[in-house]
């Protein structure tokens, strides 16, 4: 079912979205099983998402960009969710819009286990690829050296009660054995025959991204960080080892260096959430491919100038919109004029910043909610 309840104040929206969350409750307590909850935070074209398992255990995937903007937004989401500890912090890879907030985050909240793909290919490993956050590797090693640290590889699992959290890509390697019990896993992937590799000029650290497939009962979701097009083909061809999912966190902010047809069509999701910025991601060809998936809804963190008038999702599915005057000015400006920024740390802050929230139950049903307007859509169990 779908409902539209108007546009409440930010405080009201936050209260409504978080009123039932009791993360500190004892796992196994009497009563109905708690849902899986996901807060997809807005780092203006970066990436950060908080997962709260029914057990109360927490996973944070990436921490956005450096500075007060993303740190403040992450802190706000943690407070609204009632979270006081991160059990697993997954850094998909070491780009500024994914790990830039990590050093500030550890000052505010305990981290149980740091999870990553291992050594970076920035800096001395690959010539001319400098660290995007200078000195990060040394600072990060000091942090995980005082805590638990997991370097994951395809096939590994994170031991989170109530969830099956499987690593399917990491450090440039891809899972090949089909996931047990995954619908359609191991079958030939028809999209492979029509898809060719691309010559990608982006930083190769993207291709090292940690990719996860998460199952909560019958509900399944997938997140691949900034995994690149050719790595997606390597993972999903000639057979699809992952099967289908309900929720797809669109790869690489919706950029065309990723989101190959074998990945998107092979996963066949029912909802896709795009962690894009106003000028970053939501590439036209990616939007067109997503729309070719039957009955798929696209949820965006931002209205995108890249996608333009024709290819953005309907407004109710977009968490952060431009002011009408700004939108009109930008759309009527000469080509290339006034279009600076691109997400990460470069775009001016969008205030207030709204998130998208997912609530899933073990039977496979889930609800996606836009905190800007409290519009939500429930996807019934398959």
Write the pLDDT tens digit of every residue in 185-215: 999 999 999 999 998 877 889 999 999 999 9
In-domain check, residue 29: no
For the stretch 312-327, pLDDT in tens is 999 999 999 986 556 6
How far is C-alpha 232 from the chain's CA centre?
A: 16
In-domain check, residue 283: yes
In-domain check, residue 246: yes
User: pTM for this structure?
Assistant: 0.87
- Rounded (to 5) percent helix, strand, coil in the chain: 25, 25, 50
In-domain check, residue 245: yes
- Contact assessment for residue 232 and residue 168, using Cβ atoms and an 8 Å cutoff: no
Q: What is the CATH number of the domain that holds 191?
A: 3.60.15.10
In-domain check, residue 73: yes
Structure tokens at 186: 């191991």
Would you state the torsion angle of the CA atoms of residues 317, 361, 45, 6, taken in this order, to the nearest 10 degrees?
30
Whole domain around residue 248: which residue ranges?
2-24+34-379
Reading the chain (382 residues) residue by residue, the pLDDT tens digits are: 433 333 333 333 433 333 333 333 344 444 568 999 999 999 999 999 999 999 999 999 999 999 999 999 999 999 999 999 999 999 999 999 999 999 999 999 999 999 999 999 887 666 667 888 888 999 999 999 899 999 999 999 999 999 999 999 999 999 989 999 999 999 999 999 999 999 887 788 999 999 999 999 999 999 999 999 999 999 999 999 999 999 999 999 999 999 999 999 999 999 999 999 999 999 999 999 999 999 999 999 999 999 998 999 999 999 999 865 566 556 555 654 433 333 444 445 667 899 999 999 999 999 999 999 999 999 999 8
Residue 350: the pLDDT is 66
In-domain check, residue 91: yes
Residue 11: the pLDDT is 36
Domain total of the chain: 1
Residue 91: the pLDDT is 98
For the stretch 23-38, pLDDT in tens is 333 444 445 689 999 9
Rounded to whole angstroms, the Cα distance separating 53 from 35 reads 7
C-alpha gyration radius of the chain: 19
Rounded to whole angstroms, the Cα distance separating 323 from 42 reads 17
In-domain check, residue 310: yes
Residue 255: the pLDDT is 96
Q: Respond yes or no on whether the N-terminal peptide bond of residue 3 is cis (omega within 30° of 0).
A: no
Residue 2: the pLDDT is 39
Nearest Cα to 63, choosing from 78, 54, 74?
A: 74
Residue 128: the pLDDT is 66
**Element at 199 (helix H, strand E):** none
């Amino acid at each position: 079912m779908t409902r539209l309840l108007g546009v409440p104040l930010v405080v009201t929206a936050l209260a409504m979205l978080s009123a039932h969350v009791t993360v500190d409750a004892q796992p196994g307590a009497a009563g109905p099983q708690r849902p899986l909850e996901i807060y997809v935070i807005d780092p203006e074209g970066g990436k950060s998402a908080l997962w709260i398992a029914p057990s109360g255990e927490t996973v944070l995937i990436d921490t956005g960009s450096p500075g007060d903007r993303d740190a403040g937004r992450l802190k706000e989401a943690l407070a609204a969710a009632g979270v006081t500890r991160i059990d697993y912090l997954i850094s998909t890879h070491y780009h500024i819009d994914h790990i830039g907030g990590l050093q500030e985050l550890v000052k505010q909240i305990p981290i149980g286990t740091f999870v990553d793909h291992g050594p970076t290919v920035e800096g001395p490993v690959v010539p001319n690829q400098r660290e995007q956050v200078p000195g990060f590797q040394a600072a990060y090693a000091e942090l995980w050296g005082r805590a638990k640290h997991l370097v994951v590889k395809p096939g590994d699992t994170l031991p989170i009660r109530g969830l099956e959290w499987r690593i399917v890509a990491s450090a440039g390697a891809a899972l090949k054995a089909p996931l047990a019990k995954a619908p359609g896993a191991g079958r030939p992937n028809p999209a492979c025959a029509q898809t060719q590799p691309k010559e990608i000029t982006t930083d190769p650290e993207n291709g090292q991204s940690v990719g996860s497939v998460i199952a909560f009962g019958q509900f399944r979701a997938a997140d691949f960080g900034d995994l690149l097009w050719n790595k997606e083909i390597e993972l999903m061809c000639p057979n699809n080892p992952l099967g289908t999912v309900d929720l797809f966190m669109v790869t690489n902010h919706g950029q065309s260096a990723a989101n190959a047809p074998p990945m998107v069509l092979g996963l066949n999701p029912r909802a896709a959430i795009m962690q894009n910025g106003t000028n970053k991601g939501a590439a036209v060809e990616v939007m067109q491919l997503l729309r070719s998936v039957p009955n798929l809804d696209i949820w965006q963190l931002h209205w995108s100038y890249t996608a333009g008038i024709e290819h953005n999702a309907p407004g109710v599915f977009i968490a952060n919109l431009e002011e009408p005057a700004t939108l009109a000015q930008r759309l009527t400006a000469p080509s290339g004029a006034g279009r600076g920024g691109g997400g990460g740390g470069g775009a001016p802050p969008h205030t207030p910043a709204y998130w998208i929230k997912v609530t899933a139950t073990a039977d496979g049903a889930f609800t996606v909610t836009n905190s800007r307007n409290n519009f939500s859509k429930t996807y019934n169990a398959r």
